[in-house]
Amino acid sequence: MPSLAAYPFVEGCLKQYIVNDALAIAFAGVQEGFQSVSAKLLSSRSQQEAVEIAHDAQSHGQRFDLLVAEAGRDTLCVVSKGTTSESSVGWIGDASAFAAFQRYYQAPESPSRSEPEVGRACIKFLRLPEPVLDDEPYPRLYDAFKRVVSDSCFPSVGGVVVPLCTDQGRFRYMNYADVTSDPLNLAGFIGAPERIEFGTAMAGGYSVEFLDDAALGGDGKDVGFYFLQGGFGVVFPPDANGLRKAKLVIAPNPAHWVLQTRKFGGHGIASSYMTEDHCGTAGEELLQAGANEDALYCYELRKDSKTLPERPDIHDRYFAGYATAMFNSGDPARAIAMLTDLLQKQSTFGRCREMLFKMVAALGQ
């Protein structure tokens, strides 16, 4: 396995934070400076309180800038070098990088049509809480920021895009998936359409998704990036001061990703890639390893899938494994009842029938 240093995402930390439903902050500059007051900032109850904390820290020599946003207000506050400015838009960090961002955003052609990765196919799914209008600014903002991050002229700017917004009066992270193909043979597209290859280890295509834990019962503050082809992801668990440093998570498929991230914050971070095939594969692997409760969790992630009934063989195999995990986790009565009920509707399910007989025999019934 490569060393952790081989993964640049693991070197950083989250720089945008939802403090509460109505307050969010972002910082730039020296991480240790922000960390020295991060516990206080993340306990702030208002924009003014966060501004005062940052002012005090900067007056004592801490070198970081802070941007503060409050839901319902039309302005942002920027605290930098002991002074506060307030405007409808704001920025922190590298001034030359921000100037480049403005150029990319204001370019006559849409940045989405002039990706920096020339000769590759790109697909993006940007989740918006509101309907997309004809001239929606968010896709342009996303692409412009991504171009700045990818530009080697700005070594002080790195990482990936972490978007925040307000929706129905509260702050939330905006989920997305971003896919880049292997290098394309453009000459091959002159005639009939050809297949586009994605994500081989040789050529380096990749896909990354950014999601939170809200869909799985969390408060939306735990976020992570999952790299499908890489079989790993990055999460940001908080330390004692609330600073969220990047941590590598090995996850061979999306079901493992949800399972492993659940162990950090109590709720798994969702994956838009996850299917019943991922959950069934993970469940079987975990059953073989004797990790019955983990297997049960993976099966439960997609037990209500609407596509399972359309695939009888997979449906049979999935619920045979699901019942086994349930039985082995100390709930035999529910496992037997579930299989009995399912077989009344699907009498041809041989795996489920065989598993039911084994359970009944094991209990001496």
Extents of the domains making up the chain? 1-93, 275-365
* pLDDT digits 0-9 by tens, 131-150: 555 567 888 888 888 888 87
Q: Is 91 helix (H, G, I), strand (E, B) or coil?
A: coil
Domain at 275-365, CATH class:
mainly alpha
To which residue do tokens 């409050």 refer? 70
Cβ atoms < 10 Å from Cβ of 63: 12
Distance of CA 119 to the CA centre of its chain: 27
User: Which residues contact residue 133 at a Cβ distance below 8 angstroms, ignoring those fewer than 6 apart?
Assistant: none
The radius of gyration of the chain from alpha carbons, rounded to an integer in Å, stands at 24
Of 85, 83, 64, residue with least CA distance to 15: 64
Q: Which tokens go with 30?
A: 């020296």
Type of residue found at 49: E
Q: Give dist(CA 43, CA 345) in Å, integer.
A: 53
CATH code of the region 1-93: 3.60.20.10
Q: Give dist(CA 160, CA 162) in Å, integer.
A: 6
Q: Is 170 helix (H, G, I), strand (E, B) or coil?
A: strand
Q: In what order do the strands lie in the sheet containing 232-235?
A: 120-126, 176-183, 206-212, 223-227, 232-235, 247-250
Q: Structure pTM?
A: 0.85
pLDDT score of 78: 96
* pLDDT at 26 > cutoff 90: yes
pLDDT (mean) for 228-252: 92
* pLDDT digits 0-9 by tens, 214-239: 999 999 999 999 988 888 999 999 99
Helix (H) or strand (E) holding 209: strand 206-212
